[in-house]
Each structure stands twice: as C-alpha cells, then as structure tokens.
Copies of this chain bind each other. A is one copy, B any other.
Amino acid sequence: MAEIVELREAVAELVGDGDSVAMEGFTHLIPFAAGHEIVRQGRRDLELIRMTPDLVYDQMLGMGCARRLVFSYGGNPGVGSLHRFRDAIEHGWPVPVEIEEHSHAGMANRYAAGAAHLPFGLLRGYAGTDLTKHTNVKTVTCPFTGEELAAVPALHPDVAIVHAQEADRRGNVQLWGIPGVQKEAVLSAARSLVTVERLVDELVPRPGGIVLPGWVIDAIAVAPRGAHPSYAHDLTDRDNDFYQQWDIISRDRDDFRAWMDEHVLDAEVTA
C-alpha cells in the first residue's frame, strides 16, 4: 500500500546504487523532480531505462549516475541532440555507459511483457535492421502459421518512477493526457514511486484518466511542477523554451555542471 512521504525519503528508501530504474513519461509527465533528487543523493551505477531519455536522463548521465542505459530514442524532441547522452556514449564522460537500444515498439512490448509477468513480448519488428546485431532480440516461430516473429525480453526494473497529476490520501493515483507507458512501467517493476502535482481527497474520474491503485505503488511524494520542463496535462505547460535552451546549456561540460550545481545540487527542495 502506497505511503505518502517526502520525495527525499522516498528516493533514499527505494533507489539504491546499482539498481535498474525506469523513469517513464512519454514527452508528458516526465519525473524530473525525482531525477533531480536521485542526482542530489549521488546515486551511482544505475541501469537507467527509458524509451526516450530526454533531458532527465541527459542530466543524470552527465552527472555520472549510470553505468548502463536502455532506450529507444535519445534525442531532444524537436531540437536535436542530447549532448550529455552523446558525450557519455561517444567519450565515456564522465563515466563510460553501456547501452542497449531498441525500437519504441520493442521497448513498449518489453514493458507490457513485464507488466503481464510474461518472459517475453511478441511483435513484428526489427526486420532487416542492424539493431538485431547489437541488441537483445530473438525470434520465435508461430506454432500455428510457422511465421517468424521478433521476441523481446520482458523488462523488470528494480524501481519504476512516474509523475502524475494527483493522488488521493489512500495513495491511489490518477493521470490523464498522453498516458505513455507509465502503467506498464509501474506494473513491471519490483518497487514504484509516483510523484504527484497534488493530493486530493477523492479522485474524480477524468476523460482519459488512468488509475493506478495504491496497492501497486510503494511511495507517493508530492512534487508540484515536478515534471518541469515537461508538463502535467491541464495543470502545467510544456516549457518548450527550456528544451531549446538546454541545447546550449548542455553543449559544454562546464556549463552543464554549473547549471546542475545551481539548479539541482544547491537547490532548495520545494516539497
């Protein structure tokens, strides 16, 4: 049953050095506040899993939190490169990072298989690509038609972290807008943390609302604007300017570190 705790406490309790951590949110509801707290707590050797590393993993990679990255699209959406991601892979800065990359369809089916407690997911995918030589994908043969299909191994992160609009006081969570793979991430993980914009007395069902019951969540932490520069549909707006500024901030190692020092390491935790 979810406990409602401080973000600092939740991260200390749930995220350990060396853990595999899936922080999801497809463009929307990216759990930046939790990522920053992990950076502040100096976690190391994480296996970071995320379909779209986005700025949150660019920051964590640049701070040396990870030994391994599992992903499917490592760009700054609509802007260009993720410079810290590139620097980590191209030059091993600040620490070497092993990568395992998939297609979006492959990653989505890996989460779905994890959520369903199946050992693998099934798709028509990866056909004729060089990805098959560099990643963990195999084939299975349909026992009815003889057709060969791609098989991807289930994801079972140690911890899943997602951000949502709201939780009630019993720890039930509701999110709406672009739902991404958050449900699958939480259900595939051994432990889970949900940061929320706000606590409410009662969840009022919303169009497009997805409910995660408190009994599949370990901890809830209130983190208003905790998705910034991503957003929480109906509550905050995506900070597209910041995504563009990040291209400049993150290009240079020192500028990046200075920004992180000022805005993350030395920042007052707001919640």
Residues of A within 8 A of B (CB): 117-120, 122-124, 136, 138-145, 147, 149, 151, 153, 205-209
Q: How far is the CA of A1 from the CA of B124 in the complex (A)?
A: 27
Contact of A118 among B122, B143, B153 (CB under 8 A): B122
Contact of A143 among B124, B140, B142, B147 (CB under 8 A): B140
Q: How far is the CA of A118 from the CA of B206 in the complex (A)?
A: 32
Contact of A144 among B120, B144, B145, B147 (CB under 8 A): B120
Contact of A149 among B118, B205, B206 (CB under 8 A): B118
A109 CB, nearest partner CB in chain B, Å: 10
Query: Contact between A143 and B139 (Cβ–Cβ < 8 Å)?
Result: yes
A241 CB, nearest partner CB in chain B, Å: 30
Chain B residue nearest to A113 in the complex (CB): B122
A211 CB, nearest partner CB in chain B, Å: 10
Query: Contact between A143 and B149 (Cβ–Cβ < 8 Å)?
Result: no
Chain B residue nearest to A151 in the complex (CB): B143
A178 CB, nearest partner CB in chain B, Å: 14
A247 CB, nearest partner CB in chain B, Å: 35
Query: Contact between B147 and A119 (Cβ–Cβ < 8 Å)?
Result: yes
Q: How far is the CA of A230 from the CA of B117 in the complex (A)?
A: 34
Copies in the complex: 2
Taking CB atoms, residues of chain B closer than 8 Å to A208 are 205, 209
Taking CB atoms, residues of chain B closer than 8 Å to A136 are 144
What are 15 A-B pairs with beta-carbon distances under 8 A? A117-B124, A118-B123, A118-B149, A119-B144, A120-B142, A120-B143, A120-B144, A122-B122, A138-B143, A138-B144, A139-B143, A142-B151, A144-B151, A144-B153, A206-B207
Q: How far is the CA of A186 from the CA of B123 in the complex (A)?
A: 20
Taking CB atoms, residues of chain B closer than 8 Å to A120 are 122, 142-145
A116 CB, nearest partner CB in chain B, Å: 8
Query: Contact between B140 and A119 (Cβ–Cβ < 8 Å)?
Result: no
Chain B residue nearest to A145 in the complex (CB): B119
Chain B residue nearest to A206 in the complex (CB): B207
Chain B residue nearest to A209 in the complex (CB): B207
Taking CB atoms, residues of chain B closer than 8 Å to A119 are 142, 144-145, 147, 149
Chain B residue nearest to A154 in the complex (CB): B144
Q: How far is the CA of A159 from the CA of B175 in the complex (A)?
A: 35
